[in-house]
Structure 1
């Protein structure tokens, strides 16, 4: 085994140890049974990721859409590289609301026995691809290869492992941050990645990877929930006016991206440059935006499948019970007031 492959296996082992250590200290969150409406919060702590799939959050923060709707409530923000870290922050009570992957949203709900968090909106559909070296032409070519996914148990990790299981492939999956994945691929230490935007586009346009599979092809109509909005249940019950204000800001940011695409891309790129230290090249930015759909609809009907996918992927022992995960009351009030179509909870709002 070459030194690069040994490094990859070492990174995988360390990642697993860190995640398992975090999972051994699961905080089920404050009980919300005695929570009551306390009016607008003095502060709301918002999480999101420096990815194009979190474009609505990037725009909402940087263009002031959230702050404007929040009024006197102070907005503080924290960025994460993958969902499991954001889940720990939500369950630990250090975060109130987060833009997060659909897989970790299910995991957070399951970890807290359906108590600590609620799904209140969608954010992005699509925007994840399996990209590989040019000599990989079929799934069978991945036998004995090494692929990366952002973090153990995150949305792309589950999607990749579920797909590999369906293809009966013994391909190794290494969990590293997206930036490390790009570096490892460029050095020849890994053979591909199941990556969210803009990383799949960077791998294709900057590192010479090719698309073996677009995750959109695995879902009816090509739509699936990549990024959603999750809130602590207690915060939702104590400060519904604040959550509603955030959702108004979210809608404003999404409309801005829809109506002013070129300007929205620039806002996102400026935010990424500030958060990661590097702006995206124009072609990368354009390709990334071409593969996502910004929408407040979380496609609730997909969550039963997502819960089962985690089992197929070997990430969970049994499918999470997602009944009661969704609360779209405030979202549909915001959408109705703005003349937008409301979203269907697909029974996910009932336990």
Structure 2
């Protein structure tokens, strides 16, 4: 299994498990006279998806909890980015694995005050899959195509690509192509019943429609990006939590890096560990063929591919799913890069959209 097609980051991460000194994420101090209570737990959100495998492995192998030490880890499973962002904004969770577009949206809507991306997690693993009889973009006229949620990363990617192909879409669902935001499991059923013509989805749902429902890939999103690199999942932390507890966020990062390293080094064992974690989270596992295919299409990396985010903003604006605003300051990669430097690994760039040194 080609588990990391374009892995550029992990060359020397073994030392990360040895315990580094705490590294401040932001350097922000509490307001004068304000007492910050010691944190006793970290509340972490994630999705039960293959594209969130660093979370699945980090939890099931105990890597994140080990890094946190005496700080307890509480987790919550989300089905969509909007729900995770709502919980983060309300202070119900402290950090979450999430797609890039919801991260962009909360940052813009809050004027940069809500959260920061502190690491990447997954690249790749999204595609437009369609029924028999649709073989070219021209065949999509008057079709119905599903996405996971209005304004989510795959929804924006589909609308942007359709616009490039000369199609008009609407957030109301009408247009030359009917884009219908639909929960992923329902999308599979609707496709099997012939009620939709295709879907732009993340893994493992791409592979489920291909293996279980006879769909074929019309567009692999990797083909639309330079070198095939585009972010699917990032690690987002609530700004207030990071400001008040940088040392705890640093420990969370250590566990996250250890999880991505584990995936890089244990390709043969990874499918069974991921499936067991999915079973724990949802009570269901994936077919072996589905999981194997899904893993071939993703790369796990701490690099958030920050250079792609201006393009993602442009796509969201063109799709009508995003407000105008600046993403300057979206990234804070200083703690991540300090850890990478300490282990001798290659550092990553914020592409001018935040701090990385």
Match of 2:210 among 200, 204, 212: 204
CA root-mean-square deviation: 1.8
Match of 1:339 among 335, 340, 344: 344
Looking at structure 2, the residues matched to 37 and 219 of structure 1 have their Cα atoms a distance apart, in angstroms, of 47
Residue-by-residue CA offset, 1:54-75 (whole Å, 9 max, x unaligned): 0000000111000001011110
How far apart are residue 140 of structure 1 and its match? 1.3
How far apart are residue 41 of structure 1 and its match? 2.0
Looking at structure 2, the residues matched to 79 and 342 of structure 1 have their Cα atoms a distance apart, in angstroms, of 30
How far apart are residue 271 of structure 1 and its match? 1.3
Structure 1 equivalent of residue 231 of structure 2: 225
Higher relative contact order (CA 8 A, sep 6+): 2
Structure 1 equivalent of residue 146 of structure 2: 148
Looking at structure 2, the residues matched to 173 and 275 of structure 1 have their Cα atoms a distance apart, in angstroms, of 29
Change (3 A) 1:209 1:246: same
Alignment of 1:16-27 (within 5 A): none
Q: Is the 8 A contact 1:198 1:288 kept in 2?
A: yes
SS of the equivalent of 1:262 reads coil
Give unmatched runs, 5+ long, in structure 2: 1-28, 168-175
Q: Is the 8 A contact 1:39 1:239 kept in 2?
A: no
How far apart are residue 275 of structure 1 and its match? 2.1
How far apart are residue 201 of structure 1 and its match? 0.3
How far apart are residue 340 of structure 1 and its match? 1.4
Looking at structure 2, the residues matched to 312 and 349 of structure 1 have their Cα atoms a distance apart, in angstroms, of 24
Looking at structure 1, the residues matched to 38 and 336 of structure 2 have their Cα atoms a distance apart, in angstroms, of 17
Alignment of 1:99-178 (within 5 A): 99-169=97-167, 170-178=176-184
Matched, 1:323 2:321: no
Give unmatched runs, 5+ long, in structure 1: 1-31
Residue-by-residue CA offset, 1:214-266 (whole Å, 9 max, x unaligned): 00011000000110011011100111111111111111111111111121221
Q: Is the 8 A contact 1:146 1:192 kept in 2?
A: yes
Matched, 1:263 2:269: yes
Looking at structure 2, the residues matched to 216 and 298 of structure 1 have their Cα atoms a distance apart, in angstroms, of 15
Looking at structure 2, the residues matched to 196 and 317 of structure 1 have their Cα atoms a distance apart, in angstroms, of 24
Looking at structure 1, the residues matched to 193 and 255 of structure 2 have their Cα atoms a distance apart, in angstroms, of 41
Matched, 1:62 2:67: no
Looking at structure 2, the residues matched to 172 and 217 of structure 1 have their Cα atoms a distance apart, in angstroms, of 23
Change (3 A) 1:108 1:37: farther
Q: Structure 1 length as normaliser, TM-score?
A: 0.88
Match of 1:51 among 25, 49, 53: 49
Match of 2:314 among 308, 312, 317: 308
Higher helix share: 1
Looking at structure 1, the residues matched to 39 and 313 of structure 2 have their Cα atoms a distance apart, in angstroms, of 32
105-114 or 35-44, which deviates more:
35-44
Looking at structure 2, the residues matched to 124 and 252 of structure 1 have their Cα atoms a distance apart, in angstroms, of 14
Q: Is the 8 A contact 1:147 1:171 kept in 2?
A: yes
How far apart are residue 273 of structure 1 and its match? 2.1
Looking at structure 2, the residues matched to 145 and 96 of structure 1 have their Cα atoms a distance apart, in angstroms, of 40
Q: Is the 8 A contact 1:204 1:210 kept in 2?
A: yes
Q: Is the 8 A contact 1:60 1:249 kept in 2?
A: yes
Looking at structure 1, the residues matched to 304 and 270 of structure 2 have their Cα atoms a distance apart, in angstroms, of 21
Q: Structure 2 length as normaliser, TM-score?
A: 0.86
How far apart are residue 131 of structure 1 and its match? 0.2
Change (3 A) 1:37 1:333: farther
